[in-house]
Structure 1
Amino acid sequence: MSAIGKLSTFTLLSSTALSGLMALPAIAQDSEASDIALEEIVVTASRRAERIQDIPYNISAVSGARIEDAKMLDSAELLRSVSGVAIVDRGPRNAGAVNSIRIRGLNVDGSALGDYATSAAATVSTYLNDTPMFANLLIKDLERVEVLRGPQGTLYGSGALGGTVRYITRKPDFDGFSGHVSASLSSVKGSESLGWATDLVANVPLGDTLAFRFAGTRMDYPGLTDYVNVYELDANGVPVAPNGILDPTASFKSVEDADTYDVWFGRASLRWKPSDSFDVTATYTRQSDDMGGRRAQTVGRDGFGNEYGKYEVGSVQLEPADSDVEMGALEATIDLGFATLTSSTSYYEHEGSSISENTGFYAQNGWLAWYYNYPRPMATAARTYEDKAFIEELRLVSNSDGPLQYVFGLYYQDQDRLATQESFLVGAKAYVDALYGYDVSWITGDQDFHYILDENFKQKAAYGELTYAFSDKIDVTVGARYFKNESTSDTFMRCRSGPDCSQSLNPPSRPKRIRCSSRRT
């Protein structure tokens, strides 16, 4: 299922009155298309513009025109159309925290992960133009998407074991004013509501050497997942006790179409090309997502013996999430004649938060006994993640027509990542106080777990490839990469109650702090 579900989309408005819109070329086609289409495919996977059939790598390319024609909405839907690529699609709520893209089956994180950020480097790197970053960005106003299989350590600054996915955006154009405005309605199977989306793309020349381009999207899609056993909550967010706090009776409600998806997206680019040998583009990208719940389905029966239906989840609480991505990049190329020098400078910040349901996890492990069998348990995990990095890459690519070709690059990355979790058994403190008849001293509140992971990664690398053409049919390529990675991880964990900390609800255990660092060259 795609991140939005199975859609039936009806275009309401598509304005092409702005000149030049229909002249936008689709220079990249699907690599599995016909031989005629293959003649038109031009990619830059080897760091120079080449026809896809001339590149000695296993590569696929999908044009921006095909993405738009197929009404593809997210990377999960796009990558499913590329052979040899797999992605775990759990909907937009879990799409941005963990990179679940797999090429040739390689990955370091399990398919079940997605609720929280992990301390691992993905085997598949993702690039937005020349910036290595991973986020659940909308695939809007793209020139093409390139998928490279296999290790990419000698062509890309952020090397990857499994492969690389490159999202290449359309640059501002100096030839004329163009753009389009569109709007759509969508009907999602299993939902009671309609979704809608609006798109705006505008290309504005500001002179012969300066141009501006903007792409913006506003989407509001309905959910299809019903949370059928959600607690009724009081003003303090505690499950309602209709017959008193010591009575086991609870009050439930059903929330239909809980996994809503609300998105704001914008990208602005300014391009300056004062001569044929110098070209610089500044790009700013921003996206904000709000998700109402998890896209999932519970199997089996609930506590009352009722079997869960299609698109139904048995969580006792809603699981909203949000994320925000902001990135600025400055990419410049200088034609030196014998070679092209490229500089890419970028900075991004990616952060998000979510509420996860852990009540079933507590119950399956028998932990609720340590909470005096609190009759209305609602175990909540409030999680956050942050990822921000400064990246600089210099690259020199030969321009000669001779038999010897080369690519040399220098790469630097300084990345900070933060992940937190605050766990609560909501209402447990008040219940135990009522059970004992006084304010028990060994329980200070509902929180039972506190976790902080603070990491820093620094990477310096020099890489390159040399290719010599012995004939029209035989090329020999050698590549090398020298890198120095430094990482520091500071982990803080404090368990306040429960079986992992003590044999009963005793005073909070002492915090555990783990600090480690590593260096690899």
Structure 2
Amino acid sequence: MEKVVVTARRRAELIQDVPGAVSSISGAELEKQAMPDITAVANLVPSTTLKVSRGTNTTLTAFIRGIGQQDPVAGYEPGVGIYLDDVYMARPQGALTDIYDLERVEILRGPQGTLYGKNTIGGAVKYVTRKLSPKTTFGVKATVGNYGEKDLVLNATVPLSDMLRIGGSVATFNRDGFGQNVVNGKDNYNKEAVAGRISIELTPSSNLFIRLSSDRTVDDSQAKQGYRLTPGPAPASLAPLENKYDTRANLYAVNGHAQQVITQGTALLAEYQVNPELSFKSVTAYRKSKSFAPIDFDSLGTPLFEAPTIYADNQKSQEFQLTYTGAKIQGVAGVFYMKANAFNEFDVLINFPALGGLAAYTMDDINSRTKAVFADVSYSVTDTFNVNVGGRYTDDQHDARIFKRTYIGLAGSPTLGNPAAAGLSPANTDLGPDALNRTDTKFTPKLGFGWKFAPQHNMYGTASQGFKGGMFDPRMDLTGTGGPNTLASQLKRKGVNPEEVTAFELGLKSSMNGGRLQTNAAVFFTKYKNVQIPGSIITYDAAGNANGFSGSLTNAGKAKIKGLELEAISQLTNSLNVSGMYSYIDAKYDEWLVANGPNLINLARNAEFQNTPKHSGNLSASYDWPLVLSGRSGMLSLMNGVSYKSRVYQTEIVRTGNTPGLDALVPGNLLLAQDAYTLWDASLVWTSADRKVQVGLHGRNLTDKRYKVAGYNFSASSNTVTAFYGDPRTVKATVSLKF
């Protein structure tokens, strides 16, 4: 089998030699199987959930070993780091991109603080793009499929001299909706996106490489609206629709602007080989995005409960690295700095019959600044045994400006469409950086070993800590807290504490039968502290009338996660390859304290980890045989894959209990839970011997399974529970040509 080289430890090495849980899928394999985006990769990787966030096409929800982020609220850092090459993407908006122009995708499981500029406590997902070819090249890939899918990707490289190359890719992705709005006829779950990337690479000498790259994606798809699982309100009492991709939603614009997501960034990379053992790298980057998101919580044709929203963010980062690869010592050390701003404003339009209508306005302007020093060193004690020591010091600073006010009527707030709106006084929340600022610092160590006790077997063990800074609830509402000195008010102003993990892992990587059989096994145990859990609720006045919309960000104090991961790939014959994976995760909350009047109550026994199936697995096989087409020799490949996930919860609180007010929330959350399901994908692909022509027929979710991937639960206030579903059965044909 082809040997897989990764840069998980910031230096090129065989994946089987990396002392940690790493999975890699090559760009060629991604294209060969016509995987639409990175979410499809999660079916092949243990303990990993990657999916489209609710109501979007380009926001990524990522969980690894029970740690991640569901709600992409302003300033809330993800538990899984997403990287484009070496650039950390601070926000999940725009992090889900269509697959094109990639060399590979790497997924690292467990805390990543000693190897990466930005600390991530759950793991890391790396998009690694291709370097430009030294020759003039041109490529085209066309795709047509059901639901009117028409995609086109063009790429080219032109060497301007022996030292200078320029190249790039441009792509357009288009598809009709899987369903429609039964009220206005608009497509639902459609796609209309354009993306591009350009690079300039300079190699002035054999030991210096410089690349300036820029990318931009514009998603003009229709607003993706949810499927209402509960009946509509009286007097119509509308029953749920038959097609899970249909909707009755009425919100399709934010202050007159249709849904749109624009993401772009620029990066400057410089690599200098000081000597054969020592190299230096500098990564300078700027990224920004803006989203207009018409979110219709109720998915009804009349405005009952919806949120026109604008997201905007930008980030500047600088990282310097030194990498040393000596005979006895190998390692990386670096410094990292990032400054980021997350801004959003939204109305929550509430039209409960007794009220006539309210617009609950929220504005967040959140700044964060991160500084870090990190190092990771491996020392070969003998030819077969090495020890690994690492450490990181992180300094995270956050400050916020949060303003909330409720206005009368459904026309919106002054900044989102209704300049004449009359507001209720006083403001629900009006706090600036003087009141909302915090600094969190932490040193997180790592200790590990690698032992090649036999030529075919490599055992490793690691103990590491991870850290994610504290933050403020960007949707905090101080109305009804009883004044600034109450427990509830103090907790909201203080924000949530930093998340901390202590993780232990023991693994065995084996390569047997001359490399024709490779197996990986790992067991892990994680102590998870101060889990940051965002949420949203309707607020009420003393008379029981709804008067606003608020966040419910809390810390779940303690949790434990343990699990088992197995991976195997075997070349049974020269033509037949079989691979598989299995993961088991047991994740439990031990403590989750929230304010209940003057007291704190523990919700742990009523909670489950979201987006963390206890069991998941995949079994794939591919068979190749020679086939000559139109006088051109090549290889025909038949690929089949079946993946399985056990029950998945979309929210944490699921069980009934004696906690006041809890029982009313549980039914909606259980409606959103997705029972165990299995997906079947298959492809038939012919590739010419010179790899310049590739033709394929691809089917995904061939049994046409309906499975929930996200949703909203507001059953306690408006009997509203809406769900979003994974893609139905899709069939498409692809043709790729390279010149």
TM-score over 0.5 for the alignment?
A: yes
Alignment-derived partner of residue 384 in structure 1: 310
Alignment partner of 1:395: what SS? strand
Contact preservation (8 Å) 2:269, 2:282? yes
> 2: CA distance between counterparts of 1:177 and 1:486?
47
**Structure 1 position 497, deviation (Å):** 4.1
**Structure 1 position 404, deviation (Å):** 1.4
> 2: CA distance between counterparts of 1:260 and 1:316?
16
Alignment partner of 1:94: what SS? coil
> 1: CA distance between counterparts of 2:330 and 2:302?
69
Contact preservation (8 Å) 1:282, 1:330? yes
Alignment partner of 1:291: what SS? coil
Alignment partner of 1:121: what SS? coil
List per-residue Cα deviations over 1:332-377 (Å, max 9, x = no partner): 001111410000000001111111124579xxxxxxxxxxxxx964
Q: Are residues 386 and 507 of structure 1, via their aligned partners in 2, closer, same or farther at CA, if it must alter by over 3 Å?
A: closer
Q: Are residues 95 and 267 of structure 1, via their aligned partners in 2, closer, same or farther at CA, if it must alter by over 3 Å?
A: same
Alignment-derived partner of residue 345 in structure 1: 284
1:196 is matched with which residue: 123, 144, 150?
150
**Structure 1 position 124, deviation (Å):** 0.5
Alignment-derived partner of residue 40 in structure 2: 77
**Structure 1 position 209, deviation (Å):** 0.9
TM-score w.r.t. structure 1 length? 0.74
Alignment partner of 1:45: what SS? coil
Q: Are residues 215 and 149 of structure 1, via their aligned partners in 2, closer, same or farther at CA, if it must alter by over 3 Å?
A: same
After the TM superposition, which residues 100-139 of structure 1 pair with which residues of structure 2 at under 5 Å, given as runs?
100-107=61-68, 109-110=69-70, 113=71, 117-133=73-89, 134=92, 135-139=95-99
Alignment partner of 1:255: what SS? coil
Contact preservation (8 Å) 2:406, 2:424? yes
**Structure 1 position 306, deviation (Å):** 4.5
List per-residue Cα deviations over 1:171-228 (Å, max 9, x = no partner): 1122x1112112221203xxxxx12111101111111111112111012211112222
> 2: CA distance between counterparts of 1:207 and 1:218?
30
**Structure 1 position 472, deviation (Å):** 2.4
**Structure 1 position 88, deviation (Å):** 3.6
Letter in 1 for 2:397: E
TM-score w.r.t. structure 2 length? 0.53
**Structure 1 position 304, deviation (Å):** 5.2
Alignment partner of 1:153: what SS? coil
Letter in 2 for 1:341: F
Alignment-derived partner of residue 200 in structure 2: 270
Alignment-derived partner of residue 366 in structure 2: 455
After the TM superposition, which residues 312-461 of structure 1 pair with which residues of structure 2 at under 5 Å, given as runs?
312-318=246-252, 321-337=259-275, 338-359=277-298, 377-400=303-326, 402-424=327-349, 448-461=359-372
Alignment-derived partner of residue 56 in structure 2: 94
Contact preservation (8 Å) 1:225, 1:294? no
Structure 1 portions without partners, runs of 5+? 1-35, 189-193, 229-252, 362-374, 433-445, 499-504
Contact preservation (8 Å) 1:286, 1:327? yes
Quick check: 1:147 aligned with 2:63? no
2:215 is matched with which residue: 272, 280, 285?
285
Letter in 2 for 1:388: N
Alignment partner of 2:30: what SS? helix
2:392 is matched with which residue: 481, 501, 509?
481
Alignment-derived partner of residue 509 in structure 1: 425
**Structure 1 position 386, deviation (Å):** 1.2
Contact preservation (8 Å) 2:115, 2:376? yes
> 2: CA distance between counterparts of 1:507 and 1:51?
62
Contact preservation (8 Å) 2:379, 2:386? yes
Q: Are residues 452 and 277 of structure 1, via their aligned partners in 2, closer, same or farther at CA, if it must alter by over 3 Å?
A: same
Report the more deviating stretch, 82-91 or 158-167. Answer: 82-91
List per-residue Cα deviations over 1:402-446 (Å, max 9, x = no partner): 2112211010000111111024469x9xx97xxxxxxxxxxxxx7
After the TM superposition, which residues 178-193 of structure 1 pair with which residues of structure 2 at under 5 Å, given as runs?
178-188=137-147
**Structure 1 position 273, deviation (Å):** 0.4
> 2: CA distance between counterparts of 1:448 and 1:90?
25
**Structure 1 position 476, deviation (Å):** 0.0
**Structure 1 position 89, deviation (Å):** 3.2
> 1: CA distance between counterparts of 2:97 and 2:375?
30
Letter in 2 for 1:62: I
List per-residue Cα deviations over 1:461-494 (Å, max 9, x = no partner): 0000121101222110000101211111111101
> 2: CA distance between counterparts of 1:507 and 1:489?
23
Alignment partner of 2:52: what SS? coil
Give the % identical residues. Answer: 26
> 2: CA distance between counterparts of 1:324 and 1:94?
13
Alignment partner of 2:197: what SS? strand
Letter in 2 for 1:183: A
> 2: CA distance between counterparts of 1:447 and 1:301?
23
RMSD: 2.6
Report the more deviating stretch, 470-479 or 294-303. Answer: 294-303
Alignment partner of 1:77: what SS? helix
Structure 2 portions without partners, runs of 5+? 410-420, 442-739
Alignment-derived partner of residue 136 in structure 2: 177
Report the more deviating stretch, 462-471 or 290-299. Answer: 290-299
Report the more deviating stretch, 328-337 or 126-135. Answer: 126-135
Contact preservation (8 Å) 2:227, 2:299? no
Contact preservation (8 Å) 1:211, 1:270? yes
Q: Which has the higher strand share?
A: 2
1:210 is matched with which residue: 161, 164, 176?
164
> 2: CA distance between counterparts of 1:506 and 1:396?
58
> 2: CA distance between counterparts of 1:332 and 1:507?
53
Contact preservation (8 Å) 1:301, 1:308? no
Q: Are residues 295 and 316 of structure 1, via their aligned partners in 2, closer, same or farther at CA, if it must alter by over 3 Å?
A: closer
Aligned length: 412
> 2: CA distance between counterparts of 1:173 and 1:358?
48
> 2: CA distance between counterparts of 1:376 and 1:69?
45
